[in-house]
Chains A and B, each alone.
Chain A
Amino acid sequence: MSDLPPYPPLDPTTYDLIIVGTGVSESILSAAASSSGTSVLHLDPNPFYGSHSASLSLPDLTSFLHSNSLSPPPPPPSDTPDFLSVDLATRSLYSSVEIATFDSSILDERHSRKFNVDLCGPRVLFCADESINLMLKSGSNNYVEFKSVDASFVGDSSGELRSVPDSRAAIFKDKSLGLMEKKQLMKFFKLVQAHLAAAAASSTESDEGAVKIAEEDMESPFVDFLAKMPLPPKIKSIILYGIAMVDYDQDNVEACGDLLKTREGIARLALYITSIGRFSNALGALIYPIYGQGELPQAFCRRAAVKGCIYVLRMPITALLLDKASELIETGGYKGVRLATGQEIFSQKLILDPCITVGSESMSSLTDQQKETLRVLVPKSISSEGKIARGICIIRGSVKADISNALVVYPPKSLFPEQLAAIRVLQLGSGLAVCPADMHVLYFSTVCENDDQGKAALLSAMSTLIKPQVPENLQSDSAVENDTAEAAKPVVLWRALYVQAMVKGEFGGSISSAASPDGNLSYNELVESAVKLYEQLMGSEELFKEETSPDNTTEEENDGGVEIEA
């Protein structure tokens, strides 16, 4: 980074809003603010877009995980005559990072540019989810193309993968369900659909004949409701973990982090059901952006740039500038930031990447008012629920013959008795331009209480899906394997394991902190928090409201604009 020529000074030097970090939350905020006429300066200390939601080459990913790339900037000229300057620190969101290369050819020049590996995987979009709506509304859909995730499975320790019967056609085709199970499952789906239709209708008119789920059922645990239907345990598990994407074991009230209520369960099913068939050229409920998740923040950033936002990458900020506490009025208000170049830039408001904090030593000398301004930057102890173990495996072959892009869910206790939470695995192939043609990228994740527990769970899922391989230095040249049942399993070439801390977005008046990627499969909670933050910042102004005019009329002709290749 130091080799790069120095930036010319920025001009102008005053903005309505400065955003640091180009993760999904920050990018949505930047696009939304720019669209509403706010002047925005959007900075990122990294040389790429996306921050914690980026898609990177293997070396870049490795160095980002190890260093979090926000190396402490050189001490800047610390005293400004007019402002009080507060030095910023960076904390890493990642711990227990463990990277192993089993086949060094994978790091060859010829492959190096073919990988676009997600930092926040496994992650997909539901066709009907809020992030898609937001993309359509903002027009950022013009910059991303998606493809369908072909299949979704539920697995267990036997290694067998069973398709998730998530639609009428899938139930019909399913080979593992009995006829009566098919009947029960379809009956349940029909009930949910009737309920949703009735709910939609009752908002306009009242009708007595409509089938609706009773109000007391809506408040009961979803798992009890499913049992009451009555659905057998096998189907219950498919619905909870394979469709509603629940994390914790719903049958174990003590260990369960959160027991899903029927209302929320039905809402998740509704999202799934409405996702299927929303776009005529999407196969199932789930889609994934070609070139990786990093395309999403980039798309919002491009939208923001079109609307006048100024972008500067490779630009850390080193300090915050606050009003000097005068003897007369103790304001302590936020004024601006100091860039790594030393230039001082001013704004009304500031949004920071979740890994930027204020060192406790800088806090001690501040007044109460100043502390209040910096409230959201004070590092909080990360709670045990806030950890997500993630894993990435580059494999040769596929976990399921003839299928390239697939989601696999291991429900709690399905791999080993102590498995507390569901483990999700997403396999993506070269069709999505994330890896070379003969390989697949596998993403693993599970929520966990501590690093060891999370990593153990992921390793268990990995060993079920992938043939174990000794590290390269121990490998003999005559790699003998071919005649066991293991032979059919794909071979791992490269592997990363890490635990990511989850930081929630927080509104703090003039200075706010954006949210880090969460442990969900979709962006829904992330988008929700970004929208909320935006409303707090802008005073309940609607996101992208003016975009609904000319842009959208042209979009409607091509299926809502989400381009999904056949």
Chain B
Amino acid sequence: MHGRPRKAYKPEEEAASAAKAAKLRALQSQFMSNHHNKIYTKEAVDLSTKLLEINPEAYTAWNYRKLAVEDKLSRIESDPDLIKTILDEELRVVESALSQNFKSYGAWHHRKWVLSKGHSSVGNELQLLNKFQKLDTRNFHAWNYRRFVVELTKRSEQDELKYTDDMIGSDFSNYSAWHNRSVLLSSLLARKADGFLPNKKIPDEYKLVQNAIFTDEDDQSGWFYHLWLLDQTVNVETPLLTSSWPSHGSRISLYAGCSNGSFSKLTTFGSESGYFPLVLNFDQAVGGVSSSTVTIDTELKGNEDLVWEPVSKKNSHVSCVWVARLKYISSEPCFGKEYKVKVKIGNSPGIVSSRGCNFSASYEFVFTAHVHDTVEESSQEGIVSWTDGFDIWDAESKDLNALTTLDRSNAQMDSKWRQEAIAEEIDLFRELPDSKIGKLTLARLLMAKAMISDDAVKGVHYNEILELYKDLMALDSSHYQYYKDVHSVALLRKVTSSTEDLSGHLFRCRNMNNSVCLRLNNLSLSRIASVEKLLFVQMLDLSHNELHSTEGLGGMQLLSCLNLSHNRIRSFSALDSLRHLKQLRVLDVSHNHIGEHSVDTTRYLCSSPLFNSEWTQDEVGRQMPTLVTKYWDAYFVLRDLNLKQLDITGNVIAGDVFSSFVLRVVPKLVWLDGKKLEI
């Protein structure tokens, strides 16, 4: 029950509770001896009944009763009446235990167990539940059990939806009822039950929850439901391809063997390995991307059986970003030629979102690869400097257009009702300017609108969103970091929303052959977003922000130079996503907080995260086990990177010991902290 003040016990109450405890202890020890000796006589079972009536939390006693029931059932021949009597007695014990404490996990579980046996009538269960749910309308045990009974009795979801109507009607501060409503509606909408179309039902639900929010804006239940509705409005179940590199219709130039691989043109790429990445970015994590679900049609030789890899944590088979490496330098001479590459996605089923929805709309895109035979002259072994020599980017924005324009022709969203619903909500929530949750919801709605509306109006929305989050950061300091993060997301969406906005952040690096650099420095970013629009970026400056991790950067497969100096990175684990960046050669993590806080290994079940891992078979690991143990987080990230230049100064971890460790782990390193290494 909610809202009951706690009060101090009076002496006589304390005495009574002590007496009760003594009695309970005696009962308990007797019970335990019965349990250990497997005594299932009537007296012994009655003893457990007594124990459970006093303390329904005695889980062992419930388990003992299960054993006792099994024992009894094994003795009697299949006499349905007798079985029913035995099980009914269990139901009775559960009921009396529940009336003692209806938050007892053990009691509810025992009831489920009994009913699952299938010999008891389930007809009374809903009535019993109605009784309990009247006493405590929000009790999640009762709601959980309700869902169980509903499934067992095959009661229709429509009827249950009606029940949530009634419960919400009598008290709309019932989060459990709202939650059950969302569960039921999800199911009804998913199976397209009669009259349950999203474009009809979701607007109705908005009306319902508006009443709750406007009647009492301080009540959270409605806001949560509103958030769920917004999610239903903005997100489509079926996964969509949001972008790719190379993008549809683009023409890329491929060079052989460029190390610090930055180029004066955005469409130029070079790699000493002779492979270029083909990147697919989906709107949600999907699995099942493979050479059978994605087919490539090209004259480029040696790309028959492509291996698609998810850009995700180890052992995960789903990701938003999938990458395959295409060979463009083969033994046969093929330089100076243009090759068309046709990519077909989803011709055969198999790409499935983590929610279980199929990528249904097959999609096809084409790009041209121009393979050059020369190595573009570059400052091969020179140091990359971020400090000076940046010029405003001057290229035609057409060039950029081709790279960032998202082709959403495959997005089959029935967006009209979604846009209308969100526009209506926005108008409404502008009326609740005083409350924090009102501001937050408005910001979320505007964000949703920006996502599904035309590019032309986006700038205005983003400015309003950024203002709202700034207000919230000032108003509600306890959730500062959350607002900061969403502010960063909004800012990055704004920056990437148009070519004009984006080109304002592109520079030419004078010292580096005028190669193009995206500078998102000094924006107080705390999170990375909109990576799907930045797949083409090869040089990225994120210095002087408030980043805690590089999560999301894994999708930027072309990235070769990355500046993360002056951020708030605390450990190499936070750089884990960089392991996917096969082209990364230059990394600046100077002036962060790496090493300031040792990683708390007590969270792990094993004494060290290295326990049981493969490092012992690895040469470096064998050679210097103490250093690897000490710098395990750096080890896991750095050994997978092909760095030529690393800056680590200004971190607690930096020093001679760490430097010597780095040299062993990254043997190809040329520059460390601005000094050329003598090999």
The CA of A171 and the CA of B216, in the complex, are separated in Å by: 10
Contact of A179 among B170, B171, B172, B214 (CB under 8 A): B214
Q: In the complex, what residues of A have CB within 8 A of residue B169's CB?
A: 169, 172-173
Judging by beta carbons under 8 Å apart, are A183 and B172 in contact?
no
B212 at interface, CB cutoff 8 A: yes
B15 at interface, CB cutoff 8 A: no
A305 at interface, CB cutoff 8 A: no
The CA of A205 and the CA of B217, in the complex, are separated in Å by: 30
> Chain A 79-103, CB within 8 Å of chain B: the 1/0 string?
0000000000000000000000000
Q: In the complex, what residues of A have CB within 8 A of residue B172's CB?
A: 168-169, 172
Q: Given the known A-B contacts A172-B169, A172-B172, are A186 and B431 also in contact in the complex, defined by CB atoms under 8 Å?
A: no
Judging by beta carbons under 8 Å apart, are B214 and A182 in contact?
yes
How many residues of B sit at the interface, in one of the four size bands?
Answer: 10 to 19
Q: In the complex, what residues of B have CB within 8 A of residue A183's CB?
A: 214-215, 217, 431-432
B411 at interface, CB cutoff 8 A: no
Judging by beta carbons under 8 Å apart, are A180 and B171 in contact?
no
Q: In the complex, what residues of B have CB within 8 A of residue A172's CB?
A: 169, 172, 211-212, 215-216
Judging by beta carbons under 8 Å apart, are A180 and B211 in contact?
no
8 A Cβ contacts from B99-156 to A:
none
Q: In the complex, what residues of B have CB within 8 A of residue A169's CB?
A: 169-172
Judging by beta carbons under 8 Å apart, are B431 and A171 in contact?
no
The CA of A172 and the CA of B212, in the complex, are separated in Å by: 6
8 A Cβ contacts from A162-187 to B:
168-169, 171-174, 179-180, 182-183, 186
Q: In the complex, what residues of A have CB within 8 A of residue B217's CB?
A: 183
Q: In the complex, what residues of A have CB within 8 A of residue B210's CB?
A: 179
The CA of A173 and the CA of B211, in the complex, are separated in Å by: 7
Q: How distant is A310 from chain B, measured CB to nearest CB, in Å?
A: 45
Q: In the complex, what residues of B have CB within 8 A of residue A174's CB?
A: 211
> Chain B 173-217, CB within 8 Å of chain A: the 1/0 string?
000000000000000000000000000000000000011101111
The CA of A169 and the CA of B215, in the complex, are separated in Å by: 9
B357 at interface, CB cutoff 8 A: no
Q: How distant is B506 from chain A, measured CB to nearest CB, in Å?
A: 46
Q: In the complex, what residues of B have CB within 8 A of residue A180's CB?
A: 214, 431
The CA of A172 and the CA of B211, in the complex, are separated in Å by: 5
> Chain B 387-417, CB within 8 Å of chain A: the 1/0 string?
0000000000000000000000000000000
8 A Cβ contacts from B203-258 to A:
210-212, 214-217
B428 at interface, CB cutoff 8 A: yes
Judging by beta carbons under 8 Å apart, are A179 and B216 in contact?
no
The CA of A33 and the CA of B154, in the complex, are separated in Å by: 62
The CA of A168 and the CA of B171, in the complex, are separated in Å by: 8
Q: How distant is A348 from chain B, measured CB to nearest CB, in Å?
A: 47
Q: How distant is A167 from chain B, measured CB to nearest CB, in Å?
A: 10
Q: In the complex, what residues of B have CB within 8 A of residue A168's CB?
A: 171-172, 215-216
Q: In the complex, what residues of B have CB within 8 A of residue A179's CB?
A: 210-211, 214, 428, 431
The CA of A95 and the CA of B432, in the complex, are separated in Å by: 56
The CA of A435 and the CA of B432, in the complex, are separated in Å by: 50
The CA of A169 and the CA of B219, in the complex, are separated in Å by: 13
> Chain A 508-551, CB within 8 Å of chain B: the 1/0 string?
00000000000000000000000000000000000000000000
Q: In the complex, what residues of A have CB within 8 A of residue B432's CB?
A: 183
Judging by beta carbons under 8 Å apart, are B428 and A186 in contact?
no
- Most A Cβ at <10 Å: residue of B172, B212, B214: B214
Contacts A169-B170, A182-B214, A183-B217 known; 20 new A-B pairs at CB < 8 A: A168-B172, A168-B215, A168-B216, A169-B169, A169-B171, A169-B172, A171-B215, A172-B216, A173-B169, A173-B211, A174-B211, A179-B210, A179-B211, A180-B431, A182-B215, A183-B215, A183-B431, A186-B214, A186-B215, A186-B216
28 contacts across the A-B interface (CB closer than 8 A): A168-B171, A168-B172, A168-B216, A169-B170, A169-B171, A169-B172, A171-B215, A172-B169, A172-B172, A172-B211, A172-B212, A172-B215, A172-B216, A173-B169, A174-B211, A179-B211, A179-B428, A179-B431, A180-B431, A182-B211, A182-B214, A182-B215, A183-B214, A183-B217, A183-B431, A183-B432, A186-B214, A186-B216
B-side interface residues toward A, CB under 8 Å? 169-172, 210-212, 214-217, 428, 431-432
